[in-house]
Amino acid sequence: MALFAPLVMRSVTLNNRIGISPMCQYSAVDGLANDWHLVHLGGRAVGGAGLVMVEATAVEPDGRITPADLGLWSDAQIEPLRRIARFIQAQGSVPAIQIAHAGRKASAALPWEGGHAITPQAGGWFPTFAPSPIPFDSNWPTPQALDADGLNRIRQAFIESASRALEAEFQVLEIHAAHGYLLHEFLSPLSNHRTDDYGGSFENRTRLIREIVQDVRSVWPAHLPLWVRISATDWVEDGWDLTQSVQLAKLLKPLGVDLLDVSSGGLVPNAHIPTAPGYQVPLAETIRQEADIPTAAVGLITEPAQAEQIVQSGQADMVLIGRESLREPYWPLHAAFDLGVEVAWPVQYHRAQPRLYQLR
């Protein structure tokens, strides 16, 4: 079965093509990982995923989505994450982490508290930062456009966070340039109205992500994979689209990017997204074929046969499971059973394996 074939990327080998998507838990204090993150992420490694990725981890305090996001802006944040990375690896899975800056969508309330913008008095912060002074929505504050010093600060923050991720013993690093956060905001003409070297043309709008990839590659070792997550389309006319995503992929590959994690949307609140099972898979397929770069497919992938078809047919090199893994932490083990593949369960659960199958 293609889904359970190893995937080799540089010096790293995934024992299958199933990864756990980075999913914010909004459970950190001062950006520090804690027992919740250990159990949440460790449980998915126990569940048989070939790769487990830590949620969007902010490169600076102002880059958090909410006050409860993880961070890598401080050396104090290394050890709690190292504990998680070591546990993931001990289960035979590859530990990965996504580094991010939320841009104009920063300083938000927790999702179960509404997810709206919050003021400093409510625990948020201001200003937020973006390529241009355009708010995310009418009830969000106007962000501050990054000047040259601000851009240099952001670039340095990604470098330092990447270095800390390496010290924390992660084996795959992903740069978040999707879902309407800062780097995506630079890519899209809907949010980037700059007239300098970082706005206007495709070359200029992609400049910051290209620079950050090069910056990160300068500290992230050549033997370890580097991924980038993109929103392949804004799903809005005159926004960022699949054609531009293919062009970007062709530019990122020679800079040292090993895989594009292909998602979509998130830039504007009024986009009409045609959600359906596997609705983003064709985006990953097009980029893989036209840019000749490995891709990961995401989005409403819930059934083992569906995941197998995606990989077997060459639509993507692997699948990343998100919400389905929250419902079923052992999804990879159960997928193997459904597809008739023999995989090793954790030895601690060996006696329970037949009974778990019977209770499904």
- CA dist., res. 326 & res. 328, Å (int): 5
- CA dist., res. 220 & res. 224, Å (int): 7
To which H or E segment does residue 84 belong?
Answer: helix 78-90
How far apart, in Å, do the first and last CA atoms of the chain sit? 22
- CA dist., res. 177 & res. 186, Å (int): 9
**All residues at 6 or more sequence positions from 287 whose CB lies less than 8 Å from its CB, including other chains:** 232, 242, 245, 246, 249, 260, 262, 293, 295
CA nearest neighbour of 324 among 352, 308, 295, 303: 303
As given in the structure block, the two tokens for residue 81 are 């994450």
Kindly report whether the peptide bond that precedes residue 354 is cis, defined as omega within 30 degrees of 0.
Answer: no
Q: Which residues are catalytic?
A: 181
3-state SS of 136-205? Answer: CCCCCCCCEECCHHHHHHHHHHHHHHHHHHHHCCCCEEEEEECCCCHHHHHHCCCCCCCCCCCCCCHHHH
Q: Is 359 exposed, middle or buried (0-12, 13-18, 19+ CB in 10 A)?
A: exposed
Residue type for position 214: Q
3-state secondary structure of 346: coil
The label of the residue with tokens 């980038």 reads 228
